[in-house]
Amino acid sequence: MNLLDRQLLFVTGKGGVGKTSVAAALAQLAAKSGRRTLLCEMDDKGAVAAAFDTKPLAFQPRQLDTNLWAMAMNTEDALREYLRLFVKLPFVGRIGPLARTFDFVADAAPGVKEILVVGKLAYEVRERHYDLVVVDAEATGHIVAQIGAPRVIGDLVKVGMVRDQTKWVSDILEDPARTGLVIVTTPEEMPVSETIDLIGRLDAESGVEPSAIVANRVLPALFDRRQSEIVDALEEAEDVLVDATGAGVRQVLAAAHVTEARRRVGGRHLEGLRDAIPPSLPVLYVPELFTRATGRRVVSLVATALADELDVV
Amino acid sequence: MARSAKLGLDALLASKEMVLVTGSGGVGKTTVAAALGLAAAVHQGGKVLVLTVDPAKRLADALGVGALGNTASRVPDEAFAAAGVEPRGELWAAMLDTKAGWDELIRRHAPDAKVRDSVLNNPLYQNITSRFVHSHDYLAMEQLHELHATGDYDLVVVDTPPSRNALDILDAPSRMVDFFGSRLLKWLTVPYRSRLFTAASKPFYQVADRVLGAGFLRDIADFFVLFQAMERGFVGRAREVEGLLGDPRTTFVVVTTLETAPAHEAEYLVRELVRRHHHLGAIIANRVLPAGITRRGASASAKRLAEAAGEADLRDRIVTRLDLDPDDGEVVGEVLSEIATRFHDVALVATREAERRAELSVLAPEVLDAPILDSDVHDLRGLLELVGHLRT
């Protein structure tokens, strides 16, 4: 099943692995393929806005491109909308103090904030406002609390409207044909080990299944085995190279050495990842970009790389 | 603004008793924190403790910290001997265990056994402690306070938890104080029956009961009634913990890579530390490329190498030097050509790193570089290599 044929895609990963770029790239690919797509950022850091070189996003989605809308999640607005749509509150305009108080309860009470936020995303899916909702979600350490919220609420809250609503939210989240989770990692020790841990925790604490891993910033294998041996040995011919090309070649060799060493270490981490995860779970590779660019250019480069990979999924 | 003169890592570690290692996620905070503790234990002596949050498994094993909760254990002499050093002091390591930390706080601040047991057995307790008021951040600070107060250590180095925002750690103690002082907590803890008669809270409870269910709110209220019994202890303690941030014996080390996003977050964090008059010991630029890559001579050589890679003369000299098969000349040419071409990719990244570094260097008394290493740091030997780079 094509990743983008789902209706809700959470994109998570350890901090610093390029989660936002991948979420933005997936949203862009979906939009380009003709799907009406909403990209939602979950924290208030403005990373999605930065990825598209645009001003800060708001709760109300804003169109960024053909078929592409983006919003920033915000608990107060989500509560306001929830009260308007479901509780049919008469004083919608004046919920400010109530929302702040509620926000405080939600901060302390387990799962309340998460269910509100996840409920909003599931609502967009249920109402089919978009073909696909892509979420630049919480990092690996927090994602389970978010997508597992319907279960937590179901356990803790015995009556009330929220309890009733956890059912349809769970139905959407736990249907792998509708909801997907993409875990972004880099070929490094901690991101890979958090990815493996997360897959185990998802199974134990939520009904959401991972749909794909994105291995980001993978250094390309430049050399076959024989060439690789020669790269390692070149140090011994340094003086020959200095003689032929100047002293600066020492730095050229150092750069090759560092890159090659990191590529090998990274390759081992990726092999370990492949061995530790279910064989059916696809791993999509995005190469290290070596670009000076930021913002839209990066999104577009990552999207191009992912497009090639998605054809194989 | 507290800024020390440029004195190097040793002077910093020698002059402080508490080091808080901060920075955005994925930059190597845990490894750097372990390296700082090791540097102090090896070169300065005394009893040094590293409190880590979430070490990679191999590093945790190397430090001898496992799943044993908050207990500190000493890195054995044999481990140092195997790594080829004889430390002047002792290195201890402990792992932050949020759940155990909270249990300990409850035991300490509960006025009596009844409150204590009611809280510890409350079904909401575990859920709440793992979520609210950035409890990981607070617990890390709390543990630092606790460990320092025991007088058992000359230096405590704390690795800080991965947060959504690196500033959370600075705000954690005041959030705890605010929480106990908030009107909301007072509302929540008004005896349940009388609530509907409190004009101010009436609309809130009506809606909240309908949405969340009365039972859930009552559970929450019951829990916070218990919590309020511990207010004095918690608030007093949180104020003490907050005091540590600005204590002259405390220093902050900000770790970052020289990539755009982490470097900008580090800049923000540094400015905030300065604004709050906290002591900024150093910025550590981690996993940086060798500085020489950006030199003009290097790119000139790369260019010449790209041309020379096709020349039989150079190939033959290398084949001879490396004692290769004469047929390998072509492979040597391919390798040299690829290295020359790819150099520009690496040089581009190195140039960008140099820019980031220049931006950071105006902000801190000290920017220490830790180069990107050939392999992951997962034992004392790797940490010692890192220490070696940080001390030069």
Question: Is residue A236 included in any domain, yes or no?
Answer: no
pLDDT value, residue B351: 93
How many angstroms away from the CA of A175 is the closest CA of chain B?
25
| pLDDT score for A235 | 92
Provide mean pLDDT across the span B164-187: 75
Cα–Cα distances (Å) from B6 to B337, B364, B366, B367, B386, in that order, read: 43, 9, 6, 9, 20
pLDDT for B316 equals 94
Site from B164, B176, B195, B314 to mutate, A interface, most A CB atoms within 10 angstroms: B164
**In the sheet that B47-52 helps form, which strands lie side by side, from edge to edge?**
B73-74, B90-95, B47-52, B155-159, B18-22, B250-256, B280-288, B367-371
Question: B residues 271-310 near A, CB within 8 Å?
Answer: 289-290, 292-293, 295-302, 304-305, 308
Cβ distance of B26 and A145 shorter than 8 Å: no
Quote the tokens at residue A211.
């749909």
Cβ <8 Å between B378 and A101: no
A76 occurs within a structural domain: yes
pLDDT at residue A89, rounded to an integer: 64
Tokens representing residue A248 in the block = 């600066």
Per-residue CA distances from B345 to A57, A221, A292 (Å): 33, 14, 10
Nearest-neighbour CA in chain B from A35: distance (Å): 30
Q: What is the mean pLDDT of residues B103-115?
A: 90
What average pLDDT does the segment A208-213 reach? 94
Taking contacts as CB-CB distances below 8 angstroms, the residues of chain B near A247 are 297, 301
Tokens linked to B354:
């140099």
C-alpha distance from A145 to closest chain B C-alpha (Å): 9
| Model confidence pLDDT, tens digit, residues A223-265 | 999 999 999 999 999 999 999 999 999 999 999 999 999 999 9
Question: Which one of A20, A45, A249 would you mutate to disrupt binding with B, by most B Cβ within 10 Å of its Cβ?
Answer: A249
pLDDT band at B60 (very low <50, low <70, confident <90, very high): confident
Higher pLDDT, A156 or B270: B270
Q: Please check whether residue B25 touches A, CB under 8 A.
A: yes
Q: How confident is the model at residue B3 (pLDDT cuts 50, 70, 90)?
A: very low
Under 8 Å between Cβ of B172 and B133: yes
Which residue has better confidence, B83 or B180? B83
Residue A182: inside a domain: yes
Is residue A260, in this structure, part of any structural domain at all?
Answer: no
Q: What is the pLDDT of residue B184?
A: 64
Spatial separation of the C-alpha atoms in residues B369 and B290, rounded to whole Å: 10
A10 Cβ contact partners less than 8 Å away, ≥ 6 residues apart? A135, A137, A143, A147, A179, A180, A181, A182, A208
Four-point Cα dihedral B38, B44, B48, B51, nearest 10: -40
Task: Pick the more confident residue, B165 or B304.
Answer: B304
Q: Which CATH class is domain B9-180+237-289+372-391?
A: alpha beta
Check pLDDT > 80 for residue A112.
no
SS3 A192: helix
The residue among B301, B322, B385 with the most chain A CBs within 10 A of its CB, best to mutate, is: B301
The answer to whether the CB atoms of A162 and B56 lie below 8 A apart is: no
Residues of chain B contacting residue A114, judged by C-beta atoms under 8 Å apart? none
- Spell out which residues of chain B touch residue A241, defining contact as CB-CB under 8 Å: 305, 314, 318
DSSP-assigned states of every residue in B184-210: HHHHHTS-GGGGGG-TTTHHHHHHHHH
Hey, of B189, B217, B342, which one would you mutate to test binding to chain A, going by the most A CBs within 10 A of its CB? B342
CATH number at residue A173: 3.40.50.300
Would you state the pLDDT for residue A127?
A: 93
For A96, the closest chain B residue by CA position comes to B204
| Domain membership flag for residue A254 | no
Confidence of residue B5 (pLDDT cuts 50, 70, 90): very low
> Among B32, B27, B15, which residue's Cα sits nearest to residue B251?
B15
Q: Are strands B90-95 and B73-74 parallel, antiparallel or unpaired?
A: antiparallel
Domain boundaries, chain B: 9-180+237-289+372-391, 293-355
Of residues A237, A301, A302, the one with CA closest to residue B339: A237
How much is the pLDDT for B4?
A: 42
Query: Which pLDDT score is estimated for B136?
Result: 78
> Is pLDDT of B196 > 70?
no
Which region among A7-16, B15-24, B92-101, B182-191 has the lowest average model confidence (pLDDT)? Answer: B182-191
C-alpha–C-alpha distance, residues B62 and B127, integer Å: 32
What is the C-alpha to C-alpha distance for residues A196 and A270, in angstroms, rounded to an integer?
A: 11
* Mean pLDDT, range B306-328, rounded to an integer: 93
Q: Flag whether pLDDT at B1 surpasses 60.
A: no
pLDDT score of B129: 66
Report which residue type is found at B115. V
Count how many domains chain A has: 1
B326 interfaces chain A, CB cutoff of 8 Å: no
In a domain, A250, yes or no: no
Distance between CA atoms of residues A87 and A72, nearest Å: 23
Q: Which domain holds residue A17?
A: 3-220+278-310
Question: Distance between CA atoms of B155 and B15, rounded to whole angstroms?
Answer: 10
**Cα–Cα distance measured from residue B45 to residue B90, given in angstroms and rounded to the nearest whole number:** 7
- List the single residue in A16, A162, A247 with the smallest CB-CB distance to B262: A16
Residues 125-184 of B with CB under 8 A from A: 127-128, 131-133, 162, 164-165, 179, 182, 184
Q: Which of these ranges, B115-124, B196-205, B210-219, B266-275, has the smallest mean pLDDT?
A: B196-205
- Structure tokens that stand for B227 in this block: 């919590």
Mean pLDDT of the B290-302 span: 92
Task: Please indicate whether, in this complex, the C-beta atoms of B293 and A254 are within 8 angstroms of each other.
Answer: yes
pLDDT at A212 over 60: yes
Please give the DSSP secondary-structure letter assigned to residue B277. T
Split at pLDDT 50, 70, 90, the class of B125 is: confident
| Ramachandran category for residue B94: left, alpha or beta (phi over 0 → left; psi -120 to 50 → alpha) | beta
Residue type present at position B61: D
Burial of A130: CB neighbours in 10 Å, binned 0-12, 13-18, 19+: buried
Instruction: Give the distance, in angstroms, between the CA of residue A274 and the centroid of all CA atoms in the same chain.
Output: 19
| B212 interface with A at CB cutoff 8 Å | yes
* pLDDT for the residue A224: 92
Say whether pLDDT at A313 is over 60. no
Q: Is residue A265 part of a domain?
A: no
Q: Flag whether residue B190 sits within 8 Å of chain A, measured between CB atoms.
A: no
Say whether pLDDT at B373 is over 50: yes
Q: In B, which residues are within 8 Å of A223 by CB distance? A: 335, 338
Chain B residues inside the 8 Å CB shell of A240: 314, 317-318, 321
Give the pairing type, strands A62-65 and A68-72: antiparallel
Q: Which residue type occupies B367? A: V
Tell me whether residues B56 and A226 touch, CB distance under 8 A: no
CA distance A150 to B290: 49
Whether pLDDT at B278 is above 90? yes
Examine the pLDDT at B2 and tell me if it is beyond 50. no
How distant, in Å, are the alpha carbons of A97, B208, B212 from that of B187? 14, 13, 16
Contacts of B347 in chain A (CB under 8 A): 255
Q: How far is A202 from chain B (nearest CA, A)?
A: 17
Distances from the Cα of A21 to the Cα of A14, A114, A172, angstroms: 13, 23, 25
CA distance to A12, A34, A181, A209, B204, per residue, from A204 (Å): 17, 36, 15, 11, 35
Tokens of A170: 């769970």
Give the residue among A148, A208, A149 at the shortest CA–CA distance from A178.
A208
What SS3 class is residue B51?
strand
**Which phi and psi (to 5°) does residue A17 adopt?**
-95, -10
CA distance B179 to B186: 10
Chain A residues with CB-CB distance to B255 below 8 A: none
Q: Which of A98, A253, A261 sits opposite B207 (nearest CB)?
A: A98
A116 is a domain residue: yes
Distance from CA of A6 to the nearest CA of B (A): 28
Average model confidence (pLDDT) across chain B: 86
What is chain A's alpha carbon radius of gyration, rounded to the nearest angstrom?
A: 23
List CB contacts of A287: < 8 A, sequence separation 6 or more: A217, A218, A219, A220, A305
Model confidence at B192, pLDDT cuts 50, 70, 90, reads low
Amino acid B163 reads S
Give the closest of B26, B208, B259 to A105, CB-based: B208
A174 pLDDT above the threshold of 90: yes
User: In this structure, are residues B203 and A83 in contact, taking their beta carbons and an 8 Å threshold?
Assistant: no
- Over residues A60-98, the pLDDT tens digits come to 999 999 999 999 998 878 888 887 887 776 554 555 556
Which residues does chain A have within 8 Å of residue B187's beta carbon, measured at their own beta carbons?
101
If one compares B54 and A283, the residue with the highest pLDDT of the two is A283
Q: Express each pLDDT in A273-308 by its tens digit.
A: 999 999 999 999 999 988 878 899 999 999 999 999
Contact A244 B314 (CB under 8 A): yes
> Which whole number is the average pLDDT over B364-391?
92
* Mean pLDDT, chain A, integer: 89
Which pLDDT score is estimated for B102? 85
